[in-house]
Homo-oligomer: A and B are copies of this chain.
């Protein structure tokens, strides 16, 4: 199976180029995937042109960073050929490592700086390309947050900073503080974005793209597997599916929604997408990934992979983006019935 040619996009308005498909390590690296399988997937992604690897301090309590750093060392890659990002907010505080969380969480200057220093130690790197604030922290003044991320940039520990799961107004507030203090604002936001979850990216954020040049690195393109169609027509999560084998608290809480009202509505939406996928010769998963990439505000789509095969499948979705013509996109909107209705922007 040949792999599509990789495409590179600018990270929002910055000069940094990231592969349109990137590889993340959440729940996989240092988690339910063996290190050898993780190394193989990372290698396969790199071979296929993926230059952007995403992780976070809390992914598998720091182990995801250790795996990614070990891979970079093992394969002898140089940082100028890679884009590495990590995220600071949660510390190591998850079910696997209930360490003292008092100042090891949130966006105090202390945790932002100590957190990234510990991440860099785990990664075995002197710097990352992008450091994200993994969540907003309404208990810390935005000025303290903006100053601390700029401090990381000024001390050569990161080139850019971004946000993850922040609201449009929180991002705008960060830019307001940055502008007032002559500092650098957040270059990129990392939200969930997929065929079933569109409001934030297509409505809330719509004015950020032009005004602040906000880039998007988006995750969960298959919405935990619903958009593969594998839950359509089944009464219980099939054996081997992530929902059936959930061990971490995030997946467990998602598994608990199995079969509820929202679940039923979304299965119907997935059903309605099937003929469109067939029309362009794609699987539902390929359609779902290609659709995310068809949004020009998306800088990179973060994918996960347990096996090399999945890496290749994800990247192949790139080949279907050109088939998503205006006509096909309109059919999708009609089938889903969830396209945000937004007034035109005025500045």
State the A residues within 8 Å of B (CB): 8, 10, 13-17, 51, 79-81, 83, 99-100, 102-104, 106-111, 113-115, 118, 129, 137, 139-141, 144-145, 147, 151, 154-156, 159-160, 181-182, 184, 213
Question: Oligomeric state, in number of copies?
Answer: 4
Instruction: Please name the residue on chain B nearest to A117 by beta carbon.
Output: B80
Sample of 5 more A-B contacts, CB < 8 Å, known A15-B145, A110-B159: A13-B141, A15-B106, A15-B109, A81-B104, A181-B182
Q: For the complex, what is the distance from the CA of A114 to the CA of B125, rounded to whole Å?
A: 14
Bound CA–CA A115/B106 (angstroms): 31
- What are the nearest 7 A-B pairs in CB distance? A15-B140, A15-B108, A80-B114, A109-B159, A110-B159, A16-B108, A81-B100
Which residue of chain B has its CB nearest to the CB of A137? B15
How far does the alpha carbon of A115 sit from the alpha carbon of B79 in the complex, in Å? 11
What are 12 pairs between A and B in contact, CB < 8 Å?
Answer: A14-B109, A14-B140, A14-B144, A15-B137, A15-B144, A79-B114, A80-B103, A80-B111, A80-B118, A81-B100, A110-B129, A154-B154
A10 to B141, CA, bound (A): 11
Residues of B contacting A13 with CB < 8 Å?
141
How many Å from the CB of A72 to the closest CB on chain B? Answer: 15
Question: How far is the CB of A197 from the nearest CB of chain B, in Å?
Answer: 29
A102 touches B17 (CB 8 A): yes
Please judge, given known A-B contacts A80-B118, A118-B80, A182-B182, whether A14 and B141 are in contact too, CB under 8 Å: yes
Q: What is the bound-complex CA distance between A8 and B159, given in angstroms?
A: 34
Which residues on B sit within 8 Å (CB–CB) of A155?
156
Q: Are B102 and A51 in contact (CB under 8 A)?
A: yes
Would you call B102 and A81 a contact (CB within 8 A)? Answer: yes
Whether the pair A113, B181 counts as a contact (CB closer than 8 A) is no
Q: Which residue of the partner chain B has the closest CB to A107?
A: B15
Residues of B within 8 Å of A118, CB to CB, are 80
Q: Note all chain B residues with C-beta closer than 8 A to A51.
A: 100, 102-103
CB distance from A51 to the nearest CB of B (A): 5
Q: Which residues of B contact A79 (CB under 8 A)?
A: 114
- How far is it, in angstroms, between the C-alpha of A65 and the C-alpha of B255 when the chains are bound? 52
Q: Kindly identify which residue among B110, B141, B144, B160 contacts A109, using a CB–CB cutoff of 8 Å.
A: B160
A307–chain B nearest beta-carbon distance, Å: 25
Q: Which residues of B contact A103 (CB under 8 A)?
A: 16-17, 51, 80-81, 83
Q: Which residues of B contact A80 (CB under 8 A)?
A: 103-104, 110-111, 114-115, 118
Q: How far is the CA of A159 from the CA of B113 in the complex (A)?
A: 9
**In whole angstroms, what is the CA distance A324 to B51 when docked?**
56
